[in-house]
C-alpha cells in the first residue's frame, strides 16, 4: 500500500509501510549505509506525518517480514494478546503517543498493555517522540525481575560488573571483580565475556565466580557470556551456571547468523530452570542486542535498523529474562556514527524494551573510531538513569581490555547514586551494609589503610595468585 504526504509545498510518496518506518527514523549512519534513510529533513517529517495517522491495528494486520518466511514474525503475531490490546485498539500511532504521555497513564496501565504491543507498534511510536518523551514514558514504566537479587524496583539502578581479561586469566579476572565489588558494583550480575569461547574454559570461569560468591555470601548471579549451546552442555556437565546468555536479533536469518533459533533458546531456558539455582526468583536468561546486528548480517529485510532492533526484544520477551541490554555503540560508527546518534539510540532502545515488558539495561559504550567520547557517555548514562534504566554495565577504568571498546567505569555508579539518589538492589545493598561498605549518604565508604573490608575481600585473590 502506498502513502503520500505534503510538507512545505512538496509531496512525498512512500511505497509501503517499511518505507514509511525507515523514512520516519531519526538520521543514523546504518540506515544511510543500507539506502533506507530519508533523503531530507522534509521527507523525514512527511513520513512521520503519515506514521502518526496510521491505526495501531495496521501493525497487527500487516507484517513487515512475511509470516511464512520468518519465525520471529510468527512469534510476534501468534503471541499478540488481543484482550490486552482492546483498550488501545482504536488509537493511531500519534494517538498512542499522546496516551503514553498522558498524566492519567501510569505504571499499572503500561504494564497491562505490554503483552498487546508488537515491536513494530513500539518502534513506530518512538519515531514520533523527542528524547524527553522517551525518558518520560520509560521512567513511569515498571518491570521487575529476580534471581538472587531483585532488579527494576523504583529508585534502584543495578550494575553488571564486567571483569573481562584478554587471556581469561583467573587472577586478572579476580582482581577486576574485587575492584568492582569495592565500588559497590555487581548486583545485576558479575558477567564475563570469555576471550576463548569453549565449554572447558567457561566452566573454569564459572567455578571461580561461584566459589567467590559462596565464600563471601554475595547475593548476586554470575554469568559467563558463552554461546547458548555451550550453556546447554555446561548444564549437562553439572557446572554452576546461574544465567544463560545469548545475543539475539530481530529476524530468523539474523539469529541463524548467531547460530540460534527459538527452539534452541527454549531448550536452554528449560535446562536452566531445572537447576533451580535462584533463591528469590526464576528469571534465568540474559540477552544482549544492538542496533545494526541484522543489517550487518544482511538479514534486515529492507527494514530500518531501529525497527529490527525492537523485533529482537520480542525474542527476548518470550523467555522471561532477568536481564536484557542493548550494547548501544559497540557495533561501530557504520551504524551509529557519533555521540548524538548513540545517545538517541540508547534512549530509544531502553524505551522500547521497557514498553514491551523487558528489564531493559544498556551498555553505554562506543568504539574508538566513532565520533564519540566519554562526555557523550556521561550524558547517556545520566539520561538513562533518569529514565529508570534497570542496569548499566561497568568495566575497570571504562576501558574493556579484551573487547577493545569504551564503556562505563566502576566509579560511575558512585556518581549516579550520589547525584541522582539511585540505590543498588535491596539484597545487594544489605550485603554492602553487612560488609561496612555503605556510607551514611548511601555511597561507598572510602577505603583506608588497615580497613577490615580490604582485609576481608582481598584475600580472595590468594585463591588464584
Q: How confident is the model at residue 464 (pLDDT cuts 50, 70, 90)?
A: very low
| Average pLDDT of the residues in 389-415 | 97
Residues 161, 128 share a domain: no
Note the pLDDT of residue 443: 76
Residues 185, 134 share a domain: no
Note the pLDDT of residue 308: 98
Residues 68, 151 share a domain: no
**For residues 99 and 94, what is the distance between their CA atoms, to the nearest angstrom?**
9
- pLDDT tens, position by position, 444-463: 777 666 565 544 555 544 44
Residue 97 covered by a domain: yes
Sign (positive or negative) of CA dihedral 112, 115, 116, 122: positive
Note the pLDDT of residue 297: 95
Note the pLDDT of residue 448: 66
**For residues 56 and 13, what is the distance between their CA atoms, to the nearest angstrom?**
21
**For residues 464 and 191, what is the distance between their CA atoms, to the nearest angstrom?**
18
Residue 420 covered by a domain: yes
- Between 320 and 462, the higher pLDDT residue: 320
State the SS3 of the chain: CCEEEEECCEEEEECCHHHHHHHHCCCCHHHHHCCCCCCCHHHHHHHHHHHHHCECHHHHHCCCCCHHHCHHHHHHHHCCCHHHHHHHCCCEHHHHHHHHHCCCCCHHHHHHHHHHCCHHHHHHHHCCCCHHHHHHHHHCCCCCEECCCEECCCCECEEEECCCCCCCCHHHHHHHHHHHHHCCCCCCEEEECCCCCCHHHHHHHHHHHHHHHHHCCCCCCEEECCCHHHHHHHHHCCCCCCCEEEECCCCHHHHHHCCCCHHHHHHHHHHHHHHCCCCCCCCCEEEEECCCHHHHCCCCCCCCHHHHHHHHHHHHHCCCCCEEEEECCCCCCCCCCEHHHHHHHHHHHHHHHHHCCCCEEEECCECCCCECCHHHHHHHHHHHHHCCCCEEEEEHHHEECCCCEECEECHHHHHHHHHHCCECCHHHHHHHHHCCCECCCCCECCCCCCCHHHHHHHHHHHHCC
Cite the annotated binding site for substrate by residue number. 160-162, 193, 288, 363
Crossing angle of helices 93-101 and 119-126, rounded to 10°: 80
Cite the annotated binding site for adenosylcob(III)alamin by residue number. 194, 246, 296, 402
Q: How confident is the model at residue 438 (pLDDT cuts 50, 70, 90)?
A: confident
- Whether residue 242 contacts residue 205, with contact meaning beta carbons closer than 8 Å, is answered with no
- pLDDT tens, position by position, 114-135: 999 999 999 999 999 999 999 9
Residues 117, 20 share a domain: yes
Q: What is the pTM of this model?
A: 0.95
Radius of gyration of the chain (CA): 22
Residue 289 covered by a domain: yes
Residues 159, 80 share a domain: no
Residues 212, 97 share a domain: no
Residue 194 covered by a domain: yes
Note the pLDDT of residue 445: 77
Domain containing 8 equals 3-140
| Average pLDDT of the residues in 420-430 | 97
| Average pLDDT of the residues in 210-218 | 96
| Average pLDDT of the residues in 205-228 | 97
Residues 302, 164 share a domain: yes
Residue 452 covered by a domain: no
| Average pLDDT of the residues in 282-296 | 98
Note the pLDDT of residue 465: 36
Note the pLDDT of residue 461: 47
Q: Mean pLDDT, the chain, as a whole number?
A: 95
Cite the annotated binding site by residue number. 160-162, 193-194, 246, 288, 296, 363, 402
Given a cut of 60, whether residue 88 has pLDDT beyond it is yes
Residues 413, 298 share a domain: yes
Given a cut of 80, whether residue 343 has pLDDT beyond it is yes
Residues 168, 90 share a domain: no
Residue 443 covered by a domain: no
- Whether residue 87 contacts residue 60, with contact meaning beta carbons closer than 8 Å, is answered with no
Q: How confident is the model at residue 108 (pLDDT cuts 50, 70, 90)?
A: very high
Q: In terms of Cα–Cα distance, which of 186, 184, 100 is closest to 446?
A: 184
| Total domains present in the chain | 2
Note the pLDDT of residue 437: 85
Residue 461 covered by a domain: no
Q: In terms of Cα–Cα distance, which of 390, 399, 391 is closest to 366?
A: 399
pLDDT above 90 covers what percent of the chain? 93
Residues 407, 379 share a domain: yes
Residues 191, 126 share a domain: no
**For residues 218 and 210, what is the distance between their CA atoms, to the nearest angstrom?**
10
Residues 416, 375 share a domain: yes
Note the pLDDT of residue 452: 55
Residue 440 covered by a domain: no
CATH of the domain at 46: 1.10.220.70
| Strand segments (E) across 152-297 | 158-161, 189-192, 222-224, 244-247, 285-289
- pLDDT tens, position by position, 11-66: 999 999 999 999 999 999 999 999 999 999 999 999 999 999 999 999 999 999 99
Note the pLDDT of residue 242: 98
Given a cut of 60, whether residue 277 has pLDDT beyond it is yes
CATH of the domain at 370: 3.20.20.70
Amino acid at each position: 500500500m502506498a502513502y503520500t504526504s505534503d510538507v512545505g509545498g512538496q509531496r512525498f510518496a512512500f511505497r509501503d509501510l517499511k518505507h514509511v518506518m525507515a523514512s520516519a527514523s531519526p538520521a543514523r549512519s546504518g540506515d544511510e549505509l543500507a539506502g533506507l534513510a530519508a533523503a531530507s529533513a522534509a521527507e523525514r517529517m512527511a513520513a512521520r506525518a503519515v506514521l502518526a495517522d496510521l491505526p495501531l491495528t495496521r501493525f497487527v494486520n500487516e507484517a513487515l517480514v512475511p509470516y511464512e518466511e520468518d519465525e520471529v514474525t510468527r512469534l510476534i503475531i501468534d503471541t499478540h494478546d488481543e484482550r490486552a490490546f482492546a483498550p488501545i485498539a482504536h488509537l493511531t500511532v500519534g494517538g498512542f503517543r499522546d496516551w503514553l504521555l498522558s498524566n492519567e497513564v501510569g505504571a499499572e496501565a503500561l504494564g497491562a498493555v505490554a503483552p498487546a504491543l508488537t515491536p513494530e507498534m513500539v518502534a513506530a511510536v518512538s519515531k514520533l517522540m523527542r528524547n524527553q518523551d522517551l525518558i518520560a514514558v520509560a521512567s513511569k514504566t515498571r518491570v521487575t525481575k529476580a534471581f538472587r537479587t531483585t532488579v527494576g524496583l523504583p529508585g534502584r539502578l543495578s550494575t553488571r560488573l564486567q571483569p573481562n581479561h584478554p587471556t581469561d586469566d583467573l587472577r586478572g579476572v579476580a582482581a577486576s571483580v574485587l575492584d568492582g565489588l569495592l565500588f559497590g558494583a555487581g548486583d545485576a550480575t558479575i558477567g564475563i565475556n570469555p576471550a576463548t569461547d569453549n565449554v572447558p574454559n567457561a566452566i573454569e570461569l564459572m567455578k571461580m565466580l561461584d566459589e567467590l560468591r559462596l565464600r563471601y555470601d554475595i547475593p548476586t548471579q554470575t554469568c559467563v557470556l558463552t554461546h547458548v549451546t555451550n550453556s546447554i552442555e555446561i548444564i549437562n556437565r553439572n557446572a554452576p551456571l546461574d544465567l544463560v546468555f545469548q545475543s539475539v536479533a530481530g529476524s530468523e536469518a539474523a539469529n541463524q547468523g548467531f547460530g540460534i533459533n527459538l527452539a534452541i533458546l527454549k531448550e536452554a531456558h528449560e535446562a536452566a530452570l531445572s537447576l533451580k539455582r535462584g533463591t528469590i526468583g526464576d528469571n534465568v536468561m540474559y540477552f544482549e542486542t544492538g542496533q545494526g546486528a541484522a543489517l550487518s548480517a544482511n538479514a534486515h529485510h529492507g527494514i530500518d535498523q531501529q525497527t529490527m532492533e525492537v523485533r529482537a526484544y520480542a525474542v527476548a520477551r518470550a523467555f522471561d529474562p532477568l536481564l536484557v541490554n542493548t550494547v548501544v555503540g559497540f557495533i561501530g560508527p557504520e551504524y551509529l556514527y557519533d555521540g548524538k546518534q548513540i545517545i538517541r539510540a540508547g534512549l530509544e532502545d531502553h524505551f522500547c524494551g521497557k514498553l514491551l515488558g523487558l528489564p531493559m539495561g544498556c551498555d553505554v559504550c562506543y568504539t574508538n573510531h566513532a565520533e564519540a567520547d566519554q562526555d557523550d557517555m556521561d550524558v547517556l548514562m545520566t539520561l538513562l538513569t533518569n529514565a529508570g534504566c534497570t542496569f548499566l554495565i561497568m568495566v575497570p577504568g571504562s576501558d574493556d581490555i579484551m573487547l577493545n571498546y569504551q564503556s562505563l567505569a566502576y566509579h560511575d555508579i558512585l556518581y549516579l547514586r550520589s547525584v541522582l539518589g539511585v540505590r543498588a538492589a535491596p539484597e545487594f545493598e544489605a550485603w554492602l551494609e553487612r560488609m561496612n561498605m555503605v556510607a551514611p549518604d548511601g555511597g561507598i565508604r572510602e577505603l583506608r589503610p588497615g580497613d577490615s573490608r580490604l582485609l576481608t575481600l582481598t584475600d580472595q585473590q590468594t585463591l588464584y595468585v
